[in-house]
Every structure is written in structure tokens, then in C-alpha cells.
Structure 1
């Protein structure tokens, strides 16, 4: 077979030699539905819209039929659609009659339509197919519910590379959901692993088919490539615009706070430690809430109230972390430049509870929760709060923000787990913002290797 450069518009790719820019394939673009996993926050909605325009423009340049390109956040008013499973019945009812394939991509995933059609043409859409770039766990992980602890070869797709469902598979899954089949867990933690597990359970062990053309790095014949989860939106926000609240308690002062001071504390402009006792050697501040062994809702709401008082600097942003959170504040300040501080924003690693049954999303606390000042103001003025001091603070916050119709904005750069709880392949392509827990690791070494950057920009 002869190969040459395939040129359409400004893009150049290597494909089997074709006589014109119009792709000859047994698959047509108008049989493909591309779902961009967009979010409601203005920055993400804009990025999703830009990606949609780029895809449609490429189809026009090719002289091809036009694919259906959907923005996930526009499909319904239900915030839980981000977890994909709840929206499958809607996609089946409205699109499966005309579509052969459903392709799911991130906002920053680029699609090369000729290569995508070449890939999809290899598989019969009348059969059940689940395609993507395969990831797997090196060890059993809590973020995957310790699934397949004795068989770690189970594969799930890299979300950055995109993944695809044949129409036959999507329709079967939609029927399962409509019959109210329960999920293995009420919690949605790692989206693509949850989807792969759902498909495996509901379709008699159907596994992901690894497709090399679903890429995260630019290579020949890639159908998809990925840019970054940490886009450049300008200079980082100033240190003085970010206030950091660290939750701790007396029994962890020496063990955990020493790690914070040895790693990321120096990158903070304004920071306070909140404990159950006052310890001037750190120093810590007691908020008058006793330490609890489970959730820390009382402590969290007390520090939220303090954030709106003159006792702390008036900043645009509040970061809440645990005393065993490892975080890159320079990277976080780069990320925050993409967001409007005048909007109510809740940012971090998004989890979901009972999303198939109209549950709610929340920002998991260990990886860090970022709130804009308007988000804190709206929350506290709403009267929504803790049902007990030891309620899970992150879940209560999620429930409250859901009732206020303030969406949870997800960034995969925040991590509730440790570094080794995640796929090594996935981590190697990220500029992570945070990890959580010191269990069975050297936290200082993890910080130095994975989170510490050279000085990017220092503000007065």
C-alpha cells in the first residue's frame, strides 16, 4: 500500500494515498455523533463551543457530510449528565436511528475526521463495540472500588484520547438503564472506569477494544490527539488573590503539617491552619469546633464564614485542603487565570452520588476545593448547611451547590488519591495540581518529582 500526505485546510496527516480531499470510506460522517464532554462554566462552555466549530469546519473543508456534534452540557438541565450513563437513553431515543457510532471526547481533544472514519470502518456498527485507548491499573485502587484486585488487566479508556460506542451497544445500554438496573456503586469517581465497569457488568464481560489511533500524543494516522488539561490563559493569578485554608487537628500537627511546611507552604501568599486547638508554634487557629473522626462539615462551614470577615485578606479565591494534601500552588494559579472570579465557581475533582437516580455532584475534599468569593457568599446566604458537625463536608457542599444551581466544575488535575492510585500512563501526560494522603509513600519525594515546578512568575 502506498502512503502520502493527506492535506485538508491547514492540517497535514499521513494516510493511504487518495486521489482527492474527499475521503472514500464505507462509513459516512453523518452516521457519526460526536459528544463533547463540555461543562456549564463559561470558560468550559466556550472551549467546548470552539471545539465544535473546529470539527464542523473540518467536515466542510473535506467536502464531506456533516457529523452531529453535541455539547454535553446542553443535552438536558440535569447536572449529572456529565457521568454519561444517565444521558445514554436520551442519545438512544434521539440519535440511534440515524447514527452508527457515538464518539465521546474532552473539550481539549482534537479530532481528525478522515482518520476517525478509517478507524470506525474497521468495525461493524451492528455489533456491540467499545473502542478507545486502553489504560489499566498496576495495583488495586480505592478510586476504582478495588475492582479486579486479582485481575488487573481490566482495561478502561483514556478520556483525553476519546472513546466510542457502536450504536448497537449504546442502544443495549440505554435499555438496561431504562429497566432501572442498579450500578455496582452509588458513587461515580473515575468516569471512564465506571463506564467500562458498567459495560462489562451489563453486557456479559464486554471489554474495551484498544485502538492505537485513539491518541493523546501526535503520531501518524491518529484519529484523536490531546493538548492539555492546563491551558494557557495568561499570567497566573497573583498570590494575593488566593487564600489557602488548611484543615488539621492536634494529633496530626507534627506528622502532617511538617510536610506542608517542607513542600508547598512557601508558595502561598495567605494561608491559615484550622485545628481543634490553638498552637502558636505552627500557628493554628481554633474555630471552636471539636475534631470529628469522620466528616468535618462543622469545621468547613466555620472557615467559610471566617473567609467573608475582615479576619482574613479579601481575596478572589479560597482553596480548602486537608493537612495531607500535596498541591502545586503555581499550577493552580495558572489554572485559575482561565476562570472569571466574579462568577460563582466550585472547582476540583468532581465525584457524583446516585447520579442515575437524580443525585448530586460534589468536589471531593482531599484533592482540594476551590471556591470563588461569589460562590461562598451565595452558599452562606442560602441557609444551606450541616446536619451535623461530622457530616461529610464535601458531599454537603455538593448538595447545597446543586440546590443553588451552581455547577461543580471538574479538573482532572486534582486527585483525591495518591499518585500510585492512578494509571501511570495517565499521570505521565498530566501536569497534576494535587494528590492526597501520605499512606505508604514518601510525600516529600512525590511533591518534589510530580508537583514542584521551577519558579514561573513571582508577584510582589
Structure 2
């Protein structure tokens, strides 16, 4: 298996089979095992290019790098990186000490190594007492004369235990590593033996120890993307080793309504993978993974300890979506960017599972999952903080910054063919009389021009806008009655050929042009309910819902199924988005999450998080200039012409 490329010097000298093996490893290196590999051609050209020239001979070379028994390679426990480095360093230090010159040999197969006492002395005792270190100890002194040591040193050195050392490979400075080509070749041997000879079986075992969890969704567009990622991971695994890793898709774990919130799955992960895996690695469907680099990255961390790894995000100021946590200094708390992937070591998974068994989840709402998971793991300082991993990236795969990354992210706006037509999207704006004067003008200055079909629904008919009075009184909280009236009107008073309905608040900022591109990836014949996903009571059998502020998108099919059911508001001022989530959950229609919709303002999200997004919407006018926010984040171009003037804004200011 080890053909000519692996041992070029030997095969050029017409060495083959076990003779070639003995010349490289000596009789003590279990020739029966590796000589079979030599004659079969497994190891490639860079494996052992200069072992003898580099100067570590016989079973010493095999034991120094591969362990005391060369058979430990095939099979046996893999050496750790530190063990390999230490072994290679010890052998290098032996190779590159001062030695007496040796007479060149005609063939590398007939080379024999003479005994050299520590410090350069030699003697007959060395040949007799060399032990198991030499390549062929019986003839180590018979074919060439021993170098004479100085008289003053010979007596004392002859009493020391002799050592078989190879021929010189460096300078005369004792006990120092040389920069001569011989030693460089030994360095190449150590590195290549590690890469070519050890990594394939090592990677196979390590890869089997990673459970990949793709945060997928059941909608046909999203499930296909998740399946594509799964196939890519498995294809890379085939190229690296024999054993394939486990790849799970969240939407296929249907035992939990809240599987997407991850924490309810910890007990199942612990039971199923707690003994035969090392890591649970989570990623999104648009995350791209370089499996080799991921293995190299995870190898830096002791898998027997509790690790929480990811790309770190943090709040620059306290925000409502995080319940104003760490208000004094929000930058101190780090949470992972899911787009870059994140990992939990199995010991931490087991710990979380044990805690969840004794203390069920208490939080009612799931708003920003990545922040809430980090909080739960941190346990007010009793658990681990997030450890930032620079190899977990959200740079585009084609970016020059991605060279060092184990993960990248496809940060583009999904487009599946042509954007849907303007006439295919009906926009309903919820408002009330008290906001006609300040919020509606913002809509008209910004995104109204992008919508072909738009109506404003209020508690007062104002022909200047115009608004439509649905006969539903305005309420201070919750607008369930108004929203269901809008759904009825869409189904009964718009063209049946209009497949999409978008319901927004009067302080929602939205890009209709981007939404049209996004909707090109969804089938309106399916019941689609799309937006930013929140959760309520998911740890105890609750439901998911689309938060209304960022915009709620319905396919006509979804509206038809909803209104055909008996699910309605339990009160006129009930929270409309939560009631809709409860109704669709009861109908078995899953909601579809898109992180491009936002319930809050740009300043409420980490800059790094928004940097790899092309957002579709934001919400709220609190303490911001909403017109600036729109033209900075959502306008069709980064600079919009307004009233004959070019208007551009810096995102850093918002």
C-alpha cells in the first residue's frame, strides 16, 4: 500500500517490501504490520520523504512519533496534538545534536547506524548495549570503524549507557536543533505523517462525534435548503472518512412544538448522544460549513469540559427585546450569532438536560432566542459564558475575509426567479384617528410608493388619506377584532387572483420591493404565514406566532383555511398576532420565520447581526427619524432621490 511516492529514496535504490520497511523503521517496528502497508500503496508521497536523511532511525523513529508500538497506528487510540508535538520534538532533539561524521553508504537499504555516546563519544559498549533503538544492532559496528573520543573523555563516557544516534544532520552546536535540510526534512516527515497518515482515521472518528443540528423549517422552500445543506455536510464527510456524522433537521423533530427554541431538545440530545458524541453543532439553513476547518477548530477545545462556542454578539445599549438586561453595561454579556453556527460540548448538554429535568423552563415568551439561550446557559454566573470563536464567521463565502473561517453565511436576499408582481401583493395598514397626523405621513414619504395595492384601516374615515372605517372601535391594547375584519375584507372584497396579503402597523417601515423578491420563493398555493417568529409557553405546550410589528404576510390559501375554521378572537382587544398563532397552531399550519423582519428599530439589534442581512422591515418610531431609517436601511437604493435631492445616511448613526 505504500508505493514509490511515499519512499522515493528507497524505491530508487530498488528497495521493496519488508526490506524497505526495515531500512526505514528497523526490525523492532513490527514489520509485519507496516511492511504490508508499504507493499500496498496507502501512504502517499509526502509521508516519509527524508526519514533517514533527517536522522531518526529504526524503531526509535516509529516509537517517537507513533508510540512504542508502531501498530498503534492501525488501529489504536489516536495521539493528541500535544502528544504528537512532544514526540516529534523529542526525536528532533535527538536527531540534531553534534555527532561524528559517518561514511556515506552506497544504498539507503544497506545503511547502518553506529553508536555515538552522549556528547559525541563512542565505544564498543555502545554497539553491545544499544538495546532496541538501532535499525540493525547486530552489525552496527562491524562495517565501519568507531570514531575515537578524546582521551580525557573516553573513560568517563564509556561508563555511561550508550545511545545509538544517527548520522549528523546539522551544525556542531551540541543539543541545539539545526536548520540544515536534513532536519527540515524530518520536520516535513513529522508534519506529513500527521496529516496524511493520522488524520483520515482521526477525522473519521472526530466527525462521528459531531451531531449537526440544522435549524430548519417545514415550509417547502426552507426544507429544501436545509436538505441541500445536509447533503453538503455528508458529502464532505464521505471525502474525509468512512463514518458519517448525524445530521438532524429541527422541523423533523415533531415531538416538540417548540423544537426551534432548542432547549426543550436537550434531554433528548443527552439521552441519545450523551455517550457517543462530543459536540452538538447548530447552524442555520444558509450557514456554509467547511468540515475540515470545523474539526480543526473544535479540536482546540477539551471536549470533556463544558463549552459554549460561537461568534459573539452584544448589545451596545440596553434594549427592549432583551428586557433591558445588563442595563448598566450591556456589552459585557455575549450571545451567539446563529448564522455563524454555534456549538455545545456534550458535558454541557448533559448538565442542561439534568437541570431541565429538575427545573422546567419558566419563561413564558421566546423573543430573541439567541440571547435567551445564552442567558439560560450562563445561569447568573454559575454556568459558562459564550467563548468567542473567530473561525465561526458570517462573511460571505466569496469574501477574502473567509479564508480562515470554518463557517460562512450566504448573506443575500432570497430570489427564486422573478419577483412577484406589484399587483400580487395587497398591503393593509392598521391605524387609528390619533395617528393620522404623524404616522401616516411617514408611510407616504417612504414606502407607500412601492405598493400597487394599499389600504388604510382606521376607526375613522378620513378622505384625505384615505382611510376605511371597518366599524371596529380602536382599543388601547391588542387589535384582534380589527385584524380579523381585515382578513375577511381581503378574502371577500379583493381579486381572488391576488395571492398575498401583508398586514402592518402604521409605524412599520417596510421594503415592498424586497418583500416581492422574498415572496418569489414561496408557493401561494400553500398555507403560508410569514414574518418574525416569537413563541409563547413553548416549554409547556404553547405555540409560535408571527409578531405583528414587523409585518405579517399571509397567502390567500392560509387566510381561507383560517376563516373556514371556527377559531376567532376571544375578545376584541386580544393580541391579534398571538391569537393568529394559536389558531394556526390548532390547524396544524406551521408559521414560517424570516429573520429579515424586525419587531424593533435598527438600534435595538447588534451591528454585527444586521451586517449580514438585507432587512425587509423595522418597527417603531421611538427616538429616531423614521424617514432616515427607511432611506438608510430599506430603500431600493442606498441613496434615494427625494424632492430633487440625493439623500444618504450612515447606518452607524442610526
TM-score normalised by length of structure 2:
0.65
Contact 1:414–1:435 (8 Å) recurs in 2: yes
Is 1:378 matched with 2:572? no
**Cα distance per residue 1:167-221 (max 9 Å; x no partner):** 00011111111213343x3111111111001101177142100000001114223
Matched, 1:173 2:356: no
Is 1:29 aligned to residue 207 of structure 2? yes
Per-residue deviation, residues 231-279 of structure 1 (Å, max 9, x unmatched): 2311111111110000000000010000000000000010000000100
Report the CA distance between 1:314 and its aligned residue.
4.2
What 5-or-longer segments of structure 2 have no aligned partner?
1-190, 639-654
Structure of greater Rg: 2
CA distance in 2, matches of 1:106, 1:126: 26
Residue 24 of structure 1 and its aligned partner are, at CA, apart by: 5.2
Q: What's the offset of the Cα at 1:375?
A: 0.6
Higher helix proportion (structure 1 or 2): 2
Aligned equivalent of 1:156: 335
Ranked by relative contact order (alpha carbons within 8 Å, sequence separation 6 or more), the top structure is 1
Count of equivalent residues: 439
1:309 aligns with 2:492: yes
Q: Structure 1: which 5+ runs fail to align?
A: 1-15, 456-460
Give the SS at the match of 1:146. Answer: coil
Point out the more displaced range, 310-319 or 281-290: 310-319
Q: 1:210 — aligned with what?
A: 388
Equivalence for 2:364:
186
Displacement of 1:25: 5.6
2:465 aligned with 1:287:
no
Does structure 1 conserve the Cα–Cα contact (< 8 Å) formed by 2:428 and 2:502?
A: yes
Q: 1:311 to 1:72 in 2, by over 3 A?
A: closer
CA contact (8 A) 1:134 1:157 kept: yes
Runs of 4+, deviation exceeding 4 Å: 23-27, 311-314
User: Which of 220, 229, 236 is the equivalent residue of 1:58?
Assistant: 236
Aligned partner of 1:433 among 616, 622, 626 = 616
The farther-off stretch of 294-303 and 217-226 is: 217-226
Q: 1:146 Cα deviation (Å)?
A: 1.2
Root mean square deviation, CA, Å: 1.7
After superposition, what is the alpha-carbon deviation per residue over 1:277-331, rounded to whole angstroms, capped at 9, x for unaligned?
Answer: 1001000001100000000000000000000113567410100000000000111
Partner Cα distance (2:386, 2:314) in 1: 11
Map 1:94-173 to 2 at 5 A: 94-152=272-330, 153-173=332-352
Change in CA separation of 1:296 and 1:437 when aligned onto 2, cut-off 3 Å? same
**What displacement does 1:150 show?**
1.5
Task: Tell me how far apart the structure 1 counterparts of residues 455 and 213 of structure 2 sit (CA, whole Å).
Answer: 42
> Does residue 591 of structure 2 align to residue 408 of structure 1?
yes
2-side partners of 1:56 and 1:422: how far apart?
34
After TM superposition, the structure 1 stretch with the greater mean CA deviation from structure 2, 264-273 or 91-100, is 91-100
Q: Is the 8 A contact 1:316 1:373 kept in 2?
A: yes
1:449 pairs with 2:632: yes
SS at match of 2:580: helix
Instruction: Tell whether 2:407 aligns with 1:228.
Output: no
**What is the CA deviation profile of residues 16-42 of structure 1, one whole-angstrom value per residue up to 9, with x for unaligned ones?**
974478385696100000000000111
Paired with 2:452 and 2:269, the residues of 1 have a C-alpha distance of 47
Cα deviation, residue 74, structure 1: 0.8
Pick aligned residue for 2:455 from 248, 254, 272: 272
Contact 1:176 1:202 in 2 (8 A): no
CA distance in 2, matches of 1:205, 1:98: 23
